């Protein structure tokens, strides 16, 4: 890992919270992600199962976490399973964790090598009445690939058919949705790295620069600050490209008079930042660009003002839609007739703002968390309204990350410039 070691108490406390939700005489088993083949003999870069990482901080492949709070032998109430280091394999693939190193990262004292696990696990399972197994229950899940945790579920149910089974994901969705101060410290580090990159870009962007050159500056800045890398594929969209929400080509030329929308964030310590800023390529907003930009910033600030404990995401989105309707009339995108005759299932403002306003953020960029229950203190959200005008070949989005508090929210990106005046002043100094 490139990042500095995290405080192991973060993972110790996470395990305690999960164990407190388990039924008596139950055991929970978590497995790492697959290593996915690319082409030929190559593999994609390994990405750990974030549930396992949340419990242990371990990023190594072929790892497992086992929690058995009522195990008669206290030594085995928390177990970390690792692949045994192999000197010959390490000559090819690099060093693997030793027991002491893994304990220092995770706070788990008992380390078991994977090749000696089967006999131990069978004994623990026979002592338990209930088995918690993990699955991917992210509401945005779209993959049809039967991943490792689902294959493991099949294996366990075949081998131990008479046990009771419970969904670990149901507990994890609740727990991971609430971020602790220890987690926010890591998120803030990812955000601070992202801020440095953004300020660097304001000095770099000018007419004639390419989208991929901007992306290269981002990657350089991230890695030089010990980030793992980008949290997701950076969106560097100039001109009309900005109306494509997940634009990833990043191969266009930034032209004088255009805006450029940049949606990017660093990953640090497993946690992600998610920033969007839209700036003028030549450093100066035109009159019309500023009008639309200020309307988007107004929506951003309005959304931030109402995202508080107790509101539902559905109600929150509806209120932002009401405010967007007012703003779009002010800037000439909607008429009173458009609003009067709108379809309530497909409101008029959706022509110019066709995505959600917020999503949960954390170990996953679209992190676990409820969309139906009321917002709670401790949740971490993006706030990212946008305005996309096909007739004007213009797309603007402004996105910050906020941590919900008891009475409102804390803007973790408050130091990153987002007003038109701030952006113009910083671009002028280049």
Count other Cβ atoms within 10 Å, centred on residue 140.
12
Q: How far is CA 190 from the centre of its chain?
A: 11
What residues of the chain score a pLDDT lower than 50? none
Predicted structure pTM score: 0.95
Instruction: List, for residues 312-349, the tens digit of each pLDDT value.
Output: 999 999 999 999 999 999 999 999 999 999 999 999 99
Structural domains of the chain, ranges and CATH numbers in brackets = 9-176 (3.40.350.10), 181-428 (3.90.230.10)
Per-residue pLDDT at 370: 83
Q: Quote the CA–CA distance of 379 and 48 in Å, as a whole number.
A: 23
For the chain, give the mean pLDDT.
96
* Residue 387 near residue 245 (C-beta atoms within 8 A): no
Question: pLDDT per residue over 84-102, tens digit each?
Answer: 999 998 999 899 999 999 9
Which pLDDT score, from 0 to 100, does residue 34 have? 94
Residue 145: its pLDDT value, please?
81
Burial 141-171 (b: 16+ CB within 10 A, else e): eeeeeeebbeebbeebeeeeeebeebebbeb
Round to whole Å and give the CA distance between 336 and 334.
7
Q: In the prediction, which pLDDT does 430 show?
A: 54
Cβ count within 10 A of residue 73: 11
- H helices present in 29-138, as ranges: 50-56, 87-93, 99-106, 117-127
Compute the Cα dihedral for 310, 316, 322, 324 and give only its sign.
Answer: positive
Tens digits of per-residue pLDDT, 202-260? 999 999 999 999 999 999 999 999 999 999 999 999 999 999 999 999 999 999 999 99
């Amino acid at each position: 890992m490139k990042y500095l070691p995290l405080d192991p108490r973060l993972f110790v406390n996470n395990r305690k919270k999960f164990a407190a939700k388990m039924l008596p005489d139950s055991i929970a088993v978590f497995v790492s992600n697959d290593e996915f083949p690319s082409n030929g003999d190559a593999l994609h870069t390994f990405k750990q199962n974030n549930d396992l990482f949340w419990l242990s901080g371990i990023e190594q492949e072929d790892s497992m976490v086992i929690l058995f709070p009522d195990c008669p032998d206290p030594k085995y109430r928390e177990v970390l399973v690792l692949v045994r280091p192999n000197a010959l394999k390490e000559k090819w693939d690099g060093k693997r964790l030793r027991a002491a190193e893994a304990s220092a990262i995770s706070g788990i004292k008992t380390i078991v090598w994977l090749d000696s696990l089967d006999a131990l696990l069978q004994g623990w399972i026979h002592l338990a009445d209930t088995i918690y197994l993990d699955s991917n229950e992210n509401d945005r899940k779209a993959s049809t690939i039967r991943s490792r945790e689902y294959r493991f579920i099949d294996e366990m149910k075949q081998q131990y058919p008479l046990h009771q089974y419970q969904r670990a994901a149901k507990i994890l969705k609740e727990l991971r949705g609430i971020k602790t101060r220890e987690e926010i410290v890591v998120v803030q580090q990812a955000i601070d790295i992202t801020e440095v990159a953004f300020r660097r870009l304001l000095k770099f962007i000018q007419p004639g620069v390419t989208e991929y050159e901007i992306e290269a500056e981002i990657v350089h800045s991230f890695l030089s600050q010990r980030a793992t890398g980008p949290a997701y594929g950076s969106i560097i969209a100039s001109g009309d490209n900005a109306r494509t929400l997940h634009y990833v080509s990043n191969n266009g030329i930034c032209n004088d008079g255009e805006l450029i929308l940049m949606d990017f964030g660093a990953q640090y310590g497993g946690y992600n930042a998610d920033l969007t800023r839209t700036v003028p390529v030549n450093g100066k907003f035109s009159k019309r660009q500023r009008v639309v930009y200020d309307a988007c910033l107004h929506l951003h600030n309005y959304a931030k003002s109402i995202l508080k404990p107790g509101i539902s995401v559905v109600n929150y989105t509806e209120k932002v839609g009401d405010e967007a309707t007012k703003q779009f009339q002010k800037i000439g995108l909607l008429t009173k007739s458009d609003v009067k005759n709108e379809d309530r299932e497909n409101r008029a403002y959706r022509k110019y703002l066709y995505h959600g306003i917020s999503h949960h953020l954390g170990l996953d960029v679209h992190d676990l968390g409820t969309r139906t229950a009321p917002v709670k203190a401790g949740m971490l959200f993006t706030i990212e309204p946008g305005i996309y005008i096909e007739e004007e070949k213009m797309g603007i989005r402004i996105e910050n990350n906020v941590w919900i508090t008891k009475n409102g929210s804390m803007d973790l990106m408050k130091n990153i410039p987002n007003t038109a005046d701030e952006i113009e002043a910083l671009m002028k100094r280049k």
